[in-house]
């Protein structure tokens, strides 16, 4: 009994220490009382299915932001890989393998430009965003690319469920779990935090900064490809305009989850909380019925601003404490 009490107290302490988790719990509690269908299995799985693809991009974006960077090309890479998947959908192996390889290479290109050519990530990835999106438009002639006949195996990826759980949701959970272990338990993951915390210090202690930064962008590109494959499977077509604007949604997930946009602090687990907060807010607005969907944009903007303001205040406080300790 005593051990259970200790666990309960530790859990409460953790929840109140992590404001984003407390916010998620409060949203769930309030919505459960306000809307009868909110906590039903069907509604929860529907929300998870809807956010799963952009959430996967959030996994990769978290790695990039932890290094102190940003990637504005994620929506373009997602759409481009989705188009490739649609073209190759008659062969499930090619429809998965080729987009994954292309997504990884496009991400690696971003990483090379940022790390080796020392171009500001915002500018570098804005340029590749425009170029990749344009390539998608040229490849399709601005038309959707339907999934080929006899592509039942490919359509399974975005539409089927296993034991009542949508397959995209399973992939999302596996993605978050895998990268949580990678970032917390491997040398590469620890180096990502070190690079974002102080890149010069990371170089001085012998970390391969350029290689690991480039690899974080490559992994981000890989997750974009996974999202593109699932999105194309769900829609039944590859669309050149798909995932437009997702880069801002994904940055919102990361920021709301509590990962510092300057790098070095946060994690993919926190991004998952940001995903759920935004997903459930959108679902609440839909269940209300008489509210415009644009309220989600307004609320998301307010939450992001609040999260960044809190990060700024805490950062200044920590800097002041370090300065005081150094005297």
| The predicted structure's pLDDT at residue 299 | 76
Assess if residue 139 is contained within a domain: yes
| The predicted structure's pLDDT at residue 149 | 77
Res 34 pLDDT > 90? no
Q: The whole model's pTM is what?
A: 0.90
pLDDT digits (tens, 9 = 90+) for 53-108: 999 999 999 999 999 999 999 999 999 999 999 999 989 999 999 999 999 999 99
Taking the mean position of all CA atoms in its chain, how far away is CA 244?
Answer: 15
Res 279 pLDDT > 80? yes
| The predicted structure's pLDDT at residue 114 | 96
Asked if 225 and 100 count as a contact pair (C-beta separation under 8 A), the reply is: yes
Assess if residue 174 is contained within a domain: yes
Q: CA 10 to CA 92: how far, in whole Å?
A: 47
Average pLDDT score over the chain: 88
Q: How many domains does the chain have?
A: 1
Which tokens belong to 304?
Answer: 């992001």
Res 308 pLDDT > 90? no
What is the band of 169 on the pLDDT scale with cuts at 50, 70, 90? Answer: very high
CA neighbor of 103 nearest in space, from 219, 206, 246, 231: 219
Assess if residue 14 is contained within a domain: no
- Residue 181 CB partners (closer than 8 Å, separation 6+): none
Assess if residue 18 is contained within a domain: no
Q: CA 159 to CA 167: how far, in whole Å?
A: 7
Least confident interval from 36-45, 57-66, 215-224: 36-45
Whole-Å CA distances, 292 to 245, 296, 297: 19, 8, 10
| The predicted structure's pLDDT at residue 195 | 95
Q: CA 264 to CA 36: how far, in whole Å?
A: 41
| The predicted structure's pLDDT at residue 15 | 54
Least confident interval from 8-22, 48-62, 172-186, 188-202: 8-22
- Residue 178 CB partners (closer than 8 Å, separation 6+): none
Assess if residue 238 is contained within a domain: yes
Q: How many CB atoms lie within 10 A of CB 43?
A: 18
Q: How many CB atoms lie within 10 A of CB 297?
A: 13
DSSP of 38-72: TTSHHHHHHHHHHHHHHHHHHHHHHHHHHTT---T
Assess if residue 15 is contained within a domain: no
3-state secondary structure of 35: coil
| The predicted structure's pLDDT at residue 306 | 74
Instruction: Give the DSSP letter of residue 174.
Output: H
| The predicted structure's pLDDT at residue 60 | 96
Handedness of CA 77, 82, 83, 85 (dihedral sign): positive
Res 293 pLDDT > 90? no
Assess if residue 154 is contained within a domain: yes
User: Which residues are registered as beta bridge partners of 162?
Assistant: 165
Helix-strand-coil split of the chain, %, nearest 5: 75, 0, 20
User: Which residues are registered as beta bridge partners of 161?
Assistant: 166
75-93: burial string, b at 16+ Cβ within 10 Å, e else: bbbbbbbbbbbbbbbeebe
| The predicted structure's pLDDT at residue 158 | 93
Assess if residue 6 is contained within a domain: no
Which residue range forms the structural domain that includes residue 211? 44-285+294-299
Phi/psi of residue 162, nearest 5 degrees: -120, 120
Asked if 108 and 214 count as a contact pair (C-beta separation under 8 A), the reply is: yes
């Amino acid at each position: 009994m005593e051990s259970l009490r200790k666990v309960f107290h530790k859990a409460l302490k953790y929840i109140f220490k992590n404001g984003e988790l407390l916010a998620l719990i409060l949203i769930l509690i309030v919505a459960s009382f306000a809307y009868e269908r909110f906590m039903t299995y069907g509604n929860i799985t529907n929300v998870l299915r809807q956010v799963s693809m952009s959430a996967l991009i959030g996994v990769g974006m978290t790695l990039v932001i932890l290094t102190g960077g940003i990637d504005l090309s994620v929506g373009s890479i997602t759409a481009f890989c989705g188009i490739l998947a649609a073209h190759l959908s008659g062969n499930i192996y090619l429809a998965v393998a080729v987009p994954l390889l292309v997504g990884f290479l496009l991400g690696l290109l971003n990483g090379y430009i940022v790390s080796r050519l020392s171009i500001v990530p915002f500018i570098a990835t804005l340029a590749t965003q425009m170029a990749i999106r344009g390539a998608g438009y040229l490849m399709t002639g601005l038309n959707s690319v339907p999934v080929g006949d006899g592509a039942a195996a490919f359509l399974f990826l975005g539409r089927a469920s296993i034991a009542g759980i949508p397959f995209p949701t399973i992939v999302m959970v596996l993605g978050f779990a895998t990268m949580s272990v990678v970032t917390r338990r491997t040398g590469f993951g620890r180096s990502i935090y070190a690079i974002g915390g102080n890149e010069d210090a990371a170089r001085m202690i012998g970390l391969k900064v350029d290689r690991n930064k480039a690899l974080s962008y490559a992994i981000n590109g890989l997750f974009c490809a996974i999202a593109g494959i699932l999105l194309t499977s769900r829609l039944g077509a590859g669309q050149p305009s798909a995932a437009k604007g997702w880069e801002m949604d994904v940055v919102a997930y990361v920021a709301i989850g509590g990962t510092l946009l300057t790098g070095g602090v946060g994690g993919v687990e926190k991004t998952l909380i940001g995903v759920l907060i935004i997903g459930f807010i959108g679902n609440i607005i839909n269940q209300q019925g008489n509210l415009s969907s644009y309220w989600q944009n307004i609320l998301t903007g307010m939450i992001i601003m609040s999260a960044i303001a809190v990060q700024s205040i805490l950062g200044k406080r920590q800097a002041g404490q370090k300065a005081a300790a150094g005297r």
